[in-house]
């Protein structure tokens, strides 16, 4: 009888010990992307609207990510008014995290001409698992709200820039 009690205790200990490590591994293996922003410069203000000539930056902080974790961004043109097919994959960018890395920056340079007007999305993957999607749009450059001079004389009267 003593052997079976010892065996039961050992089995219970192994089960609890194993559960502790499984829970610890799951908690440790759940990386988070926080403070996700999109901007027109690497450290610019958050926006979801870009001009056709803009370079587009995606910034986020990392939490619980171990060195060697693969991050992937898939840049997708959702609807460009027929210029590209719907849900067109523009490009995929990868980054492998380094020890102590607490943030990531991805960027997408504009094409030779410009970005087609329309709606877009970037999907962020952590080790092939979709972690977050961010929608953004490209809109035409809006004209300045200041009056446009009608002739050279009016231009000369304006204060220097």
Q: Are 60 and 34 in contact (CB under 8 A)?
A: yes
List, as own/partner pairs, every contact residues 144-153 make where C-beta atoms lie below 8 angstroms and the sequence separation is at least 24, other chains included.
Answer: none
Question: Residue 21's pLDDT is what?
Answer: 40
Q: Are 32 and 40 in contact (CB under 8 A)?
A: no
Summarize pLDDT for 84-137 with one digit per residue, the tens.
999 999 999 999 999 999 999 999 998 888 999 999 999 999 999 999 999 999
Q: What is the CATH number of domain 31-138?
A: 2.60.40.10
Q: Where are the domains of the chain?
A: 1-30, 31-138
- Mean pLDDT, to the nearest integer, of 65-77? 96
């Amino acid at each position: 009888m003593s052997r079976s009690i010892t065996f039961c205790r050992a089995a219970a200990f192994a089960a609890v010990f194993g559960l502790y490590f499984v829970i610890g591994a799951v908690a440790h293996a759940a990386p988070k992307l926080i403070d996700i922003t999109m901007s027109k410069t690497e450290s610019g203000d958050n926006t979801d609207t870009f001009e056709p000539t803009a370079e587009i930056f995606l910034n986020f902080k990392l939490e619980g990510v171990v060195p060697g974790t693969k991050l992937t961004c898939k840049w997708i043109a959702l609807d460009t008014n027929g210029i590209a097919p719907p849900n067109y994959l523009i490009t995929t960018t990868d980054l492998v995290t380094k020890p102590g890395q607490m943030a990531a920056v991805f960027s997408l340079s504009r094409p030779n001409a410009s970005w087609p007007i329309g709606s877009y999305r970037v999907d962020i993957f952590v080790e092939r698992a979709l972690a977050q999607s961010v929608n953004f749009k490209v809109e035409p450059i809006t004209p300045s709200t200041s009056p446009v001079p009608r002739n050279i004389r009016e231009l000369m009267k304006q204060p220097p820039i």
